[in-house]
Amino acid sequence: MNVLGIDIGGSGIKGAPVDTKTGELCAERHRIETPQPATPRAVVDTVAKIVEHFEWKGAIGVGIPAAVQEGVVRTAANIDKGWIGTDAIEALSKATGIDKIAVLNDADAAGYAEMHFGAGRKKSGVVIIVTLGTGIGTGFFVNGHLVPNTELGHIEIDGMDAETWAADSVRKRKQLSWKKWAKRVDTYLNYLQRYFWPDLFVIGGGVSKKSDKFLPRLTVPTPVVAAELLNEAGIVGAALAYTHQAARSKQTLSLG
Ligand code: BGC
């Protein structure tokens, strides 16, 4: 099944049709700058432009940097606060005319993609995907099953919200050396390690392309690997989320 995967990020909104069996993009991805402020109206209109670009009429899966329950956005750390309480499925459906829509947290989406087609493939136990970008996102998997909306980028370290101290945007803004920033990432991962004892960390986000600059400096005892789908994980995972949702609702129907 082909699903249009869309990744709403702090700087860009990207989309491409995805073959959910193989995880491959069926066309070159299309990117539009994230409107500022990233209000629900402005963002859903941008998503509609991506849908139009591909002349898409089928299902879509959308990843958004927020906790999402049943399509309703619950938090807004790096997007406009107007998102809180917004029914994203309803808003997207109005803007695009499409009614087959799944919406989930962006790091959960990236995690799905890595668990199916990337660094987490065939990994059992507890796997935590950590996306380092504008903020810090986490996708938490137990034997391949997602525990949604973990929001571990917001754990407190020395009284600070971890993402305001260790996100990749902080490295860039403060012009931290790789060594200094790697130390922060290491401290952060050590916290997660002590609380959750994962079997594997997968580091995603744009910076995973430069993993050779910081992975070798980490001392956390848990194995840490770089994500494999790089820029595409959010798109691929959002598309996969739609197929998961569709499979779940079929199951509920047959159970009911
Ligand atoms: C948000 C998360 C998101 C992460 C990465 C955080 O600020 O709270 O929902 O997954 O940024 O975008």
72 vs 66: CA distance, rounded Å: 10
pLDDT band at 172 (very low <50, low <70, confident <90, very high): very high
Measured in angstroms, how far is the CA atom of residue 46 from the centroid of ligand 1? 20
The vertex-63 CA angle with 62 and 67, nearest 5°, equals 125
| Residue ID of nearest Cα to ligand 1 atom 6 | 135
Does position 248 have pLDDT exceeding 80, yes or no? no
Residue 180, judged by CB atoms within 10 A of its CB (0-12, 13-18, 19+), counts as: exposed
Q: Rg (Cα) of the chain, in Å, rounded? A: 17
Measured in angstroms, how far is the CA atom of residue 52 from the centroid of ligand 1? 27
Does position 251 have pLDDT exceeding 90, yes or no? no
The structural domains of the chain, ordered by start, are: 2-108+232-255 (3.30.420.40), 119-228 (3.30.420.40)
pLDDT tens digits, one per residue of 199-235: 999 999 999 999 999 999 999 999 999 999 988 999 9
Measured in angstroms, how far is the CA atom of residue 105 from the centroid of ligand 1? 8
Does position 136 have pLDDT exceeding 50, yes or no? yes
pLDDT band at 250 (very low <50, low <70, confident <90, very high): low
Q: Write out 133-188 in H/E/C secondary structure.
A: CCCEEEEEEECCEEECCCCHHHCEECCEECHHHHCHHHHHHCCCCHHHHHHHHHHH
pLDDT band at 252 (very low <50, low <70, confident <90, very high): low
Q: Looking at ligand 1, which atom is closest to the CA of residue 108?
A: 10
pLDDT tens digits, one per residue of 47-66: 999 999 999 999 999 999 99
119 vs 142: CA distance, rounded Å: 15
Position 221 scores a pLDDT of: 97
Position 247 scores a pLDDT of: 79
Q: Looking at ligand 1, which atom is closest to the CA of residue 66?
A: 9
Q: Looking at ligand 1, which atom is closest to the CA of residue 78?
A: 7
**Ligand 1 and 106: CB distance under 6 A:** yes
Give me the mean pLDDT over the 90-113 stretch. Answer: 97
Position 255 scores a pLDDT of: 47
pLDDT tens digits, one per residue of 12-38: 999 999 999 999 999 999 999 999 999
- What's the half-sphere exposure (Cβ side, CA atoms, 13 Å) at 162? 24
Contacts of 101 (CB under 8 A, 6+ apart): 59, 60, 61, 62, 71, 89, 92, 93, 242
Are 113 and 234 contacting, i.e. CB atoms less than 8 angstroms apart?
yes
**Ligand 1 and 66: CB distance under 6 A:** yes
> 218-235 burial string, b = 16+ CB within 10 Å, else e?
bebebebbbbbbbbbbbb
Position 160 scores a pLDDT of: 96
pLDDT band at 5 (very low <50, low <70, confident <90, very high): very high
Q: What pTM, to 2 d.p., does this model score?
A: 0.96
Residue from 197, 204, 196 nearest 225 by CA? 204
Measured in angstroms, how far is the CA atom of residue 207 from the centroid of ligand 1? 15
Q: Looking at ligand 1, which atom is closest to the CA of residue 77?
A: 7
**85 DSSP assignment:** T
